[in-house]
Structure 1
Amino acid sequence: METYDALLAAITPASGETRTIFDPATGQPVGEAPVHTVQDLEAAIAAAAAAQPAWAALGHDARSAALLKAADAVERSAEELARLLSREQGKPLNGPNARFEVGACAAWLRVAAGTPLDPETVVDDGETRAELHYRPIGVVGAIGPWNWPMMITVWQLAPALRMGNAVVIKPSEYTPLSVLALVEILNQELPEGLLTAVAGGRDVGEALAGHPAIGKIMFTGSTATGKAIIRSSADTVKRLTLELGGNDAGIVLPDADPRAIAEGLFWGAFINTGQTCAALKRLYVHDAIYDAVCEELTNVAAAMPMGNGLDEANVLGPLQNRQQFDIVAALVDAARESGARILLGGNPESDQPGNFYPTTLVADIANSNPLVAEEQFGPALPIIRYRSVDEAVAMANALDVGLGASVWSSDPAEARKVAARLEAGTVWINKHGAVDPRIPFGGAKQSGYGLEFGVEGLKALGVPQVING
Structure 2
Amino acid sequence: MTTLDAPEGLASPVGAARIAELTRLVRSTTGTSRTARSPITGEGFAEIPQSDPDDVEEAFRIARRTQTSWAQTSLRERKRALLRLHDLLLERQDELMDIVQLETGKSRFDAFGEVLHLALTARYYGRRLHRQLRPSHPSGVFPGLTSIELRRVPKGVVGIISPWNYPLTVALCDGLPALAAGNTVVHKPDAQTPLSALAAVELLREAGFPADAWQVVLGDGPVVGGAIVQRADYICFTGSTATGRLVAQGAAERLVGCSLELGGKNAMIVLPGADLGKAAAGALAACFSTAGQLCVSVERLYVPAEAYDAFSDELLARVRTMSLGVGFDWDPDMGSLVSQQQLDAVSRHVDDAVAHGATVLAGGVPRPDLGPWFYEPTVLEDVPPTAQLYAGETFGPVVSLYPYRDVDEAVELANAGEYGLNASVWGPVREAKAVAARIKAGTVNINEGYAGTFASVDAPMGGMRQSGLGRRQGDEGIWRYTESQSVAVQRLLPITGPASMARERYAGLVTTSLKILRRTPRA
Give percent identity, aligned residues only: 39
- Counterpart of 1:244, as a letter, is L
**Is the 1:358–1:379 contact (alpha carbons within 8 Å) kept by the matching residues of 2?**
yes
**Is the 1:12–1:31 contact (alpha carbons within 8 Å) kept by the matching residues of 2?**
no
**Is the 1:70–1:190 contact (alpha carbons within 8 Å) kept by the matching residues of 2?**
no
Give the SS at the match of 2:138.
strand
Deviation at 1:352, TM superposition (A): 5.2
Find out whether 1:29 has 2:44 as its counterpart.
yes
Per the alignment, residue 458 of structure 2 pairs with 438
The one of 191, 195, 213 equivalent to 1:194 is: 213
**Is the 2:326–2:371 contact (alpha carbons within 8 Å) kept by the matching residues of 1?**
no
Deviation at 1:406, TM superposition (A): 1.5
The TM-score with structure 1 as length reference comes to 0.95
The one of 76, 79, 95 equivalent to 1:64 is: 79
Find out whether 1:465 has 2:482 as its counterpart.
no
Per the alignment, residue 509 of structure 2 pairs with none
Structure 1 window deviating more from structure 2 (16-25 vs 133-142): it is: 16-25
Per the alignment, residue 7 of structure 1 pairs with 18
Cα deviation digits, residues 194-232 of structure 1 (max 9, x gap): 111111212000010111xx2100010001111001111
Deviation at 1:244, TM superposition (A): 0.8
Give the SS at the match of 2:347.
helix
Per the alignment, residue 135 of structure 2 pairs with 119
- Between the two proteins, the alignment pairs up a number of residues equal to 462
Partners of 1:349 and 1:86 lie apart in 2 by 18
Find out whether 1:455 has 2:475 as its counterpart.
yes
- Counterpart of 2:113, as a letter, is F
Per the alignment, residue 117 of structure 2 pairs with 104
The one of 397, 400, 407 equivalent to 1:382 is: 400
- Counterpart of 1:294, as a letter, is S
Cα deviation digits, residues 385-431 of structure 1 (max 9, x gap): 1111111111111211101111111x211111111111111111111
Deviation at 1:34, TM superposition (A): 1.0
Deviation at 1:309, TM superposition (A): 3.6
Per the alignment, residue 316 of structure 1 pairs with 334
The one of 362, 369, 378 equivalent to 1:344 is: 362
Give the SS at the match of 2:211.
coil
Deviation at 1:273, TM superposition (A): 0.8
Per the alignment, residue 300 of structure 1 pairs with 318
Partners of 1:301 and 1:351 lie apart in 2 by 19
Give the SS at the match of 2:273.
coil
Partners of 2:159 and 2:22 lie apart in 1 by 21
5+ residue gaps, structure 1, are none
Per the alignment, residue 397 of structure 1 pairs with 415
Partners of 1:132 and 1:299 lie apart in 2 by 57
The one of 295, 298, 321 equivalent to 1:277 is: 295
The TM-score with structure 2 as length reference comes to 0.85
Give the SS at the match of 2:122.
helix
In terms of Rg, which structure is larger?
Answer: 2
The one of 152, 163, 168 equivalent to 2:170 is: 152
Partners of 2:420 and 2:397 lie apart in 1 by 20
Partners of 1:348 and 1:394 lie apart in 2 by 33
Give the SS at the match of 1:33.
strand
Partners of 1:425 and 1:416 lie apart in 2 by 14
The one of 62, 78, 86 equivalent to 2:93 is: 78
5+ residue gaps, structure 2, are 1-12, 490-523
Deviation at 1:367, TM superposition (A): 4.9
Q: For 1:110-189, list aligned pairs within 5 A.
A: 110-115=123-128, 116-117=131-132, 118-123=134-139, 125-188=143-206, 189=208
**Is the 1:249–1:281 contact (alpha carbons within 8 Å) kept by the matching residues of 2?**
yes
Q: In structure 2, do the counterparts of structure 1 residues 192 and 12 end up closer, same or farther at CA, with 3 Å as the change threshold? A: closer
Find out whether 1:415 has 2:426 as its counterpart.
no
Deviation at 1:335, TM superposition (A): 1.8
